[in-house]
Structures are given as C-alpha cells and as structure tokens.
Chain A
Amino acid sequence: MNSAPDNVVELNSVAKTFRDFWMRPTVKAVDGLDLTVARGEVFGLLGPNGSGKSTTIKMILGLIKPGAGTVRLFGLPPDSIAARRRLGYLPELSYLHPFLTARETISYYAGLCGLDSRTSKERTSQLLEMTGLADAAGRAVGGFSKGMARRVALASALVGRPELLILDEPTSGLDPVSTNEVKTLVKTLVKGGMTILMTSHLLADAEDVCNRVCILNHGRKVAEGKIGEIGSSLQDFFLAKVGEGRDFTVAEFLR
C-alpha cells in the first residue's frame, strides 16, 4: 500500500477479532475499517461504548495486531520505532506508576523518548508549569485526583513533542473547567502544527474541536464527514447513525 504523503494515519480494511486463551473467537471489535487522518487536522473517532474506538487506537499504536488489513503510521508499520518517535498518546484511563512523583513520571517518559538529561529536565519543568502541576511535582501520582492524574498523563504524552497526538477520551471524567482547558490545549497544539486523533462519546466536545469525524458502531464505520458539512448538529447526526434500530423501552419498564 502506498501512503499519501499528507496522511499521517492510514487504515485499510482493518479487522480485529479478540480470542480467548484457547484461540476461540470472543468479540469482533473492528470489522473492515478504512480510515485516513491527514496532517494538521483534528480527527474525531466517535461511537458508543464498545464500538471499537479504543481497539482502533491501539492498532494504530501497534499495541494490538490487526487480524486483517494494514495499518500505516507516517507511512510505516505502527510498531516501527521511527513512527512512534513522532507520536504521543493519552490513554482513556491515566495509566501511571503510583509510586512515582509527577516529576519522575514525566522524566520517565522523557527517558523513553530518548531525551538527554538536560532536555528532559527542561521539558519536564515546562510541562509541569503548563499543566498547573508545578506545586504538586514532588508528590506521588498514586495520591492524585483523576483530573490531576489526567494532566500528568497529558504532560507525559507531550514530552517528546510529537507530530501526532492520540487522545483516547481526553475529557472523560473531567470537570467542566478541566474539560475546557483540554479543549483549549487541543486547539493551541493544532495551531502549532500538530495532528490530533481523538476518540470521544461526548459529542459536544468533539464538535468544538474536531475538523472531521468518523462514527463507528459495532466495529464498522457508519459515517464520516467534516464538521459543518454534516448538515445537522453532530448530536442529531450521531443519533441518526447510531440510534437506528435501538429500542428505548424505559417507558415500558416504568409502566
């Protein structure tokens, strides 16, 4: 497959079926997905819970191997070190070592990016300031609130100054102020030339920051389009695409 030079991420007929220890199929998480993310855009991968968003992200990161199809990151296989050098990742939950302090955590990821000790110290201090964690830099992250842990994870994703930032549910569980901060940060990073791929089921957030969205349901792409060209609000568009066939029987239940 030849990658277009402006495409940062390319997925071609990608499928993934999870299997148990005995290799019996359990869940078909992604089914024949085609997707491209162009340089400089904010691309939203939307869908209800269990639609295959996180699995898709993990295949792009090389953490999960696709069962079929090809994944390209900067035109390279996703497990290539050269591709991952240009990548930052914020997972859905802030997976952090609880025994490390905020400063140690960011320094650890700076080390994984191969930064020398001086650059690592400089960037760690800058990111602690930027995320408002300077005062808590010496505290173990195990004792942090969800919002603070999220900021440490975000700083860790940015420490290598990536060209592509992958955000998996970046505003999930955050209060309105922190959510707004994340959205402002995304807009600032994109102005600086970064490409962002984010997943969300919070449609208002996606509508605020994304240029283009793709909606997944049951592992399949059900719609794709630019915000503004959809023709209705993202909420209505989403419900029309994903809500089809869903039967809400709350009234019957309450009767």
Chain B
Amino acid sequence: MRRWRAIVKATILEMSSEPLALLLTLSSIAIIAFASVFHIHQFGGADSSRMARDAGFSVLLVIGIVYAVFCTVKVFRREIESGTAQMALAHPVSRAGFFVAKASGAFLAYAVFALTVFGVTVTTVVGAKAGGIVARRTGDIAFIWGPALAIDAAVAVLPLVLAAVADRFFRCRFTTAATWLSLAISLLGAAASIALAVAFGFGDGMIGVPLWLAPAAVMLLFPAAVFVAASAAFSVRVKEGVATALAGALFIVALPAFGNYYLSSALSKGATIPWSRVFAAGLAAVPFVASFGLLGIHLFNQRDIS
C-alpha cells in the first residue's frame, strides 16, 4: 500500500506539473464561462444556464477524455523513456503493481480536472440563472451573463496570480500550484454560489441548486477510466505518438457507444439521472478497464526496460 501510495502521489504531482494539462483546464474553464455569453443574441437569457450546463458536460466528456489520454500517455512514456522506471523497478515493486499504481494516479489526476470543471459548471449554471432573473427584473441584459462571467474569470485568473505569488515568495512550483488552486477556487466558487442560491433564491427560489448534475458528472468518470486504462496499455508497448493515435482511434470508434449512458437525453430534459443508472454504467465500464489493465500488465511484463 505504501508503494502504491508513493507512485500514485508522484503521478498526480507529475500530471499537475504538466503545463499542457493546466492549459486544458484553463481552456475548459474559458469555454464554459463564455458559453453563457455567446448564445444570448440568438436564444435570450432564459437559456443561459442550459448553455453553461451543456458546455460543462461537453468539456467534461471531450476535453476530459483528451486530458485523460494525453496525460496518461505522457506519464507512462516519460517514465519509460527517461529511465525513472528503471530506478523504480530496481526497488521492491512488481511491474503489475507499478502499472496499476501509475494508471490509478493518472485517473485521480483526471478526477482533479473533472472536479475543477464540475465546480466551474455549477458556478456558471447558478450565476447564469441568477443573472437571467435579475436581468428580467431590471431590464439590463448585462446581468444575464455578468455574474457568471465575473466568477469564471476569477476562477481562471486568480489561480495564476496566486501561483505566481507562491512561486515568487514561497518557491512553490507554478504549474502545480495553479492546478491545485484552480481546483480549490472552483470548488469554493461552486460552494459559494450554491450557498447564495439557497440563502437568497431571489425571492421566489427560482435559481435552485444544480446538484442534480452530480450523478451525470460521476457517470463521465467511467469512460475516462476506460481511456486511462487503454492509454496506459498502449503506452507501455509503443511510442507516444502511436499510443496517442491508438487511443484517439478508440475514442472515435467508441464515441457513439456513450449513448448507452443515457446522458445526453437525460441532460437535455434537465432530468436527474438515478444513481442506479450511474451504478449500472460503472459496472459496464469494469470489464473494459479490467481488459485494458490486464493487457497493459501483460505487455509491461514482456518488455525490456532499458
């Protein structure tokens, strides 16, 4: 367990220090934030929160899987090509244990990204809904997107500013600090917006707390787990470009299968996905994760580490 924990911790740190991972996180925040702005000329304020919600889940699905594939391939290939795997495997660690711990670390790092994006989505949905209500009352259209955009801009920019300060005065690693601060500020933003929605509700309680989105977000962790396992399995045998291409091909082939998760239809109706469905989706992912995991362990056991 100590060995597993050491490898998982190092992998999460590695992924959180990856500049492209931070770029994907910040781009995701920007897409969600601006989604509530771009549509207003066509749909009006009533659809703001729906646009934010759809953008959030699109980002979680598409950029999330790109993030999972990219980072998993990166950490496995770097470990093999830079020689750190040699150092690790000269210690009392089995190859299977190393593979599983590394893949678990990659998945948990993806979960950090997913939680950050989910926090921003909740903040934006609440902000856009509140803005829509205030805009209707005051007649000022800027309120439709103003609050949500302001909070999201803070979520995107504040971590960078604070990370720069931490780097300058406390010798913290900038990218790592920015990644964790993004998560913290995103969750704080979500908690604050939910608290405000509950406390004020703008008189008639129309805002509501979008926690019904949680099961849908949890559901998206399962395809990501499949892609982490697949990317890890490909990475131990072939080079970075080929492993990424294989995972990309799998993404294109498997994308229609995501319809099985009933996610898009449930979300479009604004319906809560029952936890039993989430559990079933998790069970459906298990054989795929296990198959790719076993394939990866087999390939890793066969190869020379030099």
Q: Which residues of A contact B (CB under 8 A)?
A: 18, 54-55, 58, 61-65, 79, 81-82, 84-85, 87-89, 91, 93, 95-97, 99-100, 104, 107-116, 138-140, 153, 156, 160, 166
- Find residues 247-279 in chain B having any chain A CB closer than 8 Å to their own CB: none
Closest to B14 in A: A99
What 0/1 readout, one digit per residue, does chain B (291-306) give for beta carbons within 8 Å of chain A?
Answer: 0000000000000111
If the complex has contacts A63-B304, A64-B306, are A95 and B82 also in contact, measured as CB distance less than 8 A?
A: yes
Are B90 and A87 within 8 A (Cβ)?
yes
Q: Residue B87 contacts which of A64, A65, A95 (CB distance < 8 angstroms)? A: A95
Determine whether B92 belongs to the interface, using a CB cutoff of 8 Å to chain A: yes
Hey, which chain A residues are within 8 Å of B86, CB to CB?
Answer: 58, 61, 63, 89, 91, 95
- Find residues 80-98 in chain B having any chain A CB closer than 8 Å to their own CB: 82-84, 86-95
Are A115 and B84 within 8 A (Cβ)?
no
Sampled A-B contacts (29; CB under 8 Å)? A54-B306, A58-B306, A61-B89, A63-B90, A84-B91, A84-B92, A88-B90, A89-B86, A89-B90, A91-B87, A93-B83, A95-B82, A95-B86, A96-B84, A97-B14, A100-B10, A100-B13, A104-B10, A108-B9, A109-B91, A110-B6, A112-B7, A112-B92, A112-B93, A114-B2, A114-B92, A116-B2, A153-B87, A160-B91
Are A99 and B87 within 8 A (Cβ)?
no
Hey, which chain B residues are within 8 Å of A62, CB to CB?
Answer: 89
Determine whether B17 belongs to the interface, using a CB cutoff of 8 Å to chain A: yes
The size bracket of the interface on B is 20 to 34
Hey, which chain B residues are within 8 Å of A88, CB to CB?
Answer: 90
- How many residue pairs bridge A and B at CB < 8 Å? 98
Q: Residue A99 contacts which of B5, B92, B171, B173 (CB distance < 8 angstroms)? A: B173
If the complex has contacts A62-B89, A93-B83, are A55 and B2 also in contact, measured as CB distance less than 8 A?
A: no
Are B6 and A108 within 8 A (Cβ)?
yes
What 0/1 readout, one digit per residue, does chain B (207-247) give for beta carbons within 8 Å of chain A?
Answer: 00000000000000000000000000000000000000000
- Find residues 166-194 in chain B having any chain A CB closer than 8 Å to their own CB: 171, 173, 176
Closest to A99 in B: B17
Determine whether B3 belongs to the interface, using a CB cutoff of 8 Å to chain A: yes
Hey, which chain B residues are within 8 Å of A54, CB to CB?
Answer: 306
CA A70 – CA B133 in complex, angstroms? 77
* Besides A58-B86, A63-B86, A63-B306, 12 new A-B residue pairs in contact (Cβ under 8 A), listed by A number: A81-B92, A84-B92, A89-B87, A91-B90, A95-B84, A97-B10, A100-B10, A104-B10, A111-B6, A111-B7, A112-B93, A140-B173
Closest to B175 in A: A99
3 cross-chain pairs, A with B, having the tightest CB-CB distances, nearest first:
A111-B6, A95-B83, A89-B90
Hey, which chain B residues are within 8 Å of A156, CB to CB?
Answer: 87
Hey, which chain B residues are within 8 Å of A100, CB to CB?
Answer: 10, 13
Closest to A110 in B: B6
CA A228 – CA B168 in complex, angstroms? 57
Q: Which residues of B contact A (CB under 8 A)?
A: 2-3, 5-7, 9-10, 13-14, 17, 82-84, 86-95, 171, 173, 176, 304-306
Closest to A19 in B: B304
CA A139 – CA B87 in complex, angstroms? 20
Hey, which chain A residues are within 8 Å of B304, CB to CB?
Answer: 18, 58, 63-65
CB distance from B180 to the nearest CB of A (A): 13
Hey, which chain B residues are within 8 Å of A99, CB to CB?
Answer: 13-14, 17, 173, 176
CA A110 – CA B83 in complex, angstroms? 18
CA A232 – CA B22 in complex, angstroms? 61
CB distance from B175 to the nearest CB of A (A): 8
Hey, which chain A residues are within 8 Å of B10, CB to CB?
Answer: 97, 100, 104, 108
CA A145 – CA B82 in complex, angstroms? 17
If the complex has contacts A55-B306, A99-B17, are A61 and B2 also in contact, measured as CB distance less than 8 A?
A: no
Residue among A81, A89, A97, A110 with most chain B CB within 10 A? A97
Are B94 and A81 within 8 A (Cβ)?
yes
Closest to A54 in B: B306
CA A88 – CA B90 in complex, angstroms? 7
Hey, which chain A residues are within 8 Å of B306, CB to CB?
Answer: 54-55, 58, 63-64
Are B89 and A63 within 8 A (Cβ)?
yes
Are B2 and A58 within 8 A (Cβ)?
no
Hey, which chain A residues are within 8 Å of B7, CB to CB?
Answer: 111-112
Are B6 and A58 within 8 A (Cβ)?
no
CA A153 – CA B90 in complex, angstroms? 12
CB distance from B87 to the nearest CB of A (A): 5
CA A87 – CA B93 in complex, angstroms? 12
CB distance from B256 to the nearest CB of A (A): 32
Hey, which chain A residues are within 8 Å of B5, CB to CB?
Answer: 111
CA A64 – CA B87 in complex, angstroms? 13
Closest to A168 in B: B86
CB distance from B1 to the nearest CB of A (A): 9
CB distance from A8 to the nearest CB of B (A): 15
CA A181 – CA B176 in complex, angstroms? 35
Closest to A59 in B: B304
Are A115 and B2 within 8 A (Cβ)?
yes
CA A86 – CA B77 in complex, angstroms? 28
CA A111 – CA B98 in complex, angstroms? 12
